[in-house]
Chain A
Amino acid sequence: MEALRVLYDEHAGRAMAIAMRVLRNEPEAEDVVQEAFLEVWRRAEQFDDRRGGVAAWVVTIARSRAIDRLRSTGTTSRAVEAASGSLALIPTPEIPACEQVERRRDEVRVAAALDQLPAEQRQAIALAYFEGLSQSEIASRTGNPLGTVKMRVKLAMAKLAKLLRVEEG
């Protein structure tokens, strides 16, 4: 229980951020955070550190549960409506002046990498990751050919990987 509390203290804020971003509803996002940490507790033995560390694991679970909820409650249109027509899908965090500097630095680093993508690639990534849309759904939403969407997703991920590697290297 204490170990779970430590994990919670460390990662609940990030889980809440992704759940809120997907669902845009605080009570639902709180339910997702709760479900996500219960899943972490249940599946702790399956954690594989080679797959991106604890933070990535917790975030992946929270995002998956948020998207499941989005799909099951038929609220996809709500998120898509909010997202469509806007390329400012990813907020640029303010640079903090105080604590948690390293963590905030990572926020800035990832946001800056996203900001360097061409707008249409950034939109494709945002619709896929933050709205939980498939490439076909993105094509249908944006009116772009499926092949174009697939290429944008692929190029965007390759560029992000390169940008973040360079930043860290």
Chain B
Amino acid sequence: MDCRSFKELVPAFALDALDEGERAACAAHLAGHGPHDGCAQAESDARALAARLAGALPERPVDPRVWRAIEDRVQAKLAAQRADDDHDRPPARRRDPAGWGVAVLLLGLYLARNPQRMCASPTSPTFGCGTLALARSAARVI
């Protein structure tokens, strides 16, 4: 299909009124690398025009239970996603106490091998920060 043929069909394509063969040919043409002669714009314009046809219909009130049903389903999906995330997340990312325990052990090993990373004094204000940062990086490793 060339661009000229596509543009002949694009009004019916936008209305979803083509038979399957023509529809598939239009979709393939549009997805092709081209070069195109404004085909994407022609399709976009035709679809926008088609959508405007609905504007000829007066809006209709929608029963409030429709929104409640949408809300329930979105909340359920979000809850399921959260559960999946928790399940897939590595233990330390879940702030698993066991994971933190391992992090502290790793930290001890790290500091034993890199004494220069120790602060001059445990009371130094940087001590807590450094420890926390190392603990965090260790936790990320786990």
Contacts and interface: CB of A to CB of B under 8 A. Distances in A.
B11 to A, nearest CB: 4
B57 A107 contact: yes
A135 B51 contact: no
Chain A binding surface SS class: helix
Interface size band for B:
35 or more
Contact of B67 (A8, A53, A114, A161): A8
Interface string B11-48: 11011111100000000000000000000000011111
A158 B59 CA distance: 25
A77 interface: no
Contacts of A103: 59
Contact of B63 (A30, A91, A156, A161): A30
A158 B73 CA distance: 41
Contacts of A30: 62-63, 65-66
Q: Which 10 A-B pairs have the closest CB atoms?
A: A13-B59, A52-B48, A56-B51, A157-B11, A128-B17, A17-B57, A110-B56, A110-B55, A111-B56, A16-B60
Interface of A: 1, 4-5, 8, 12-18, 20-21, 30, 33-34, 37-38, 41, 50-53, 55-57, 59-60, 63-64, 67, 90-91, 93-94, 100, 103-104, 106-107, 109-111, 114, 125, 128-130, 132-136, 138, 150, 153-154, 156-158, 160-161, 164
